[in-house]
Chain A
């Protein structure tokens, strides 16, 4: 039976052939994978912050910063992993990925700024000290 259930068994038994055996530099690939893992960690932090923070501004703070940094880290790691040899093609690929990183660096903070400004002009109130005190005393309050 050829089915997708077998892919679970593939998960249980780790694949024997790993990255870096054929082509490419082991150092670059290790650095790239480390960058990718760091990016995933920051993404996890952004997601947890998006869920756990109390009001809109702190949520956007977590989402905007964590999102930007983790996307850049993961793209940089991806660029390093794909450096199989020092040929022209791989350099071009790296340059393209770095261009994507540059544009994420430009546009992602801008979009979170635009969201913040829209919320501010829509009279969305940030959480204040009083709210925190009330929420500590009484039941836990959601935003506004």
Chain B
């Protein structure tokens, strides 16, 4: 029966977290919110039946890429102008 309520909820949360990751000035916060975005995406994919993709996103997107982003921002200026 088409889209379900859980999908709709996760999709709307995805939009909210994507906007939040780009709105905040603090780059570390942006990286953390981007990790939240990745986990929501992983949840959506697991719900769609793409378990391998969800596993990859949980390890790569939410794990390593967030760590790498934070490690880089640690060496840069933390505040962003926009």
Contact = CB atoms under 8 A, between A and B. Distances in A.
Direct contact between the two chains A and B in their complex (CB within 8 A): yes
A8 B1 CA distance: 12
Nearest to A11: B5
Interface residues of B, number: 7
Interface residues of A, number: 8
Interface in A1-26: 2-4, 6-8, 10-11
Contacts of B8: 4, 7
B2 interface: yes
B2 A2 contact: yes
Contacts of B5: 4, 7-8, 10-11
A2 B3 CA distance: 9
Nearest to A1: B2
Given A2-B1, A6-B2, 9 more contacts: A2-B2, A3-B3, A4-B3, A4-B4, A4-B5, A6-B1, A7-B1, A7-B8, A11-B5
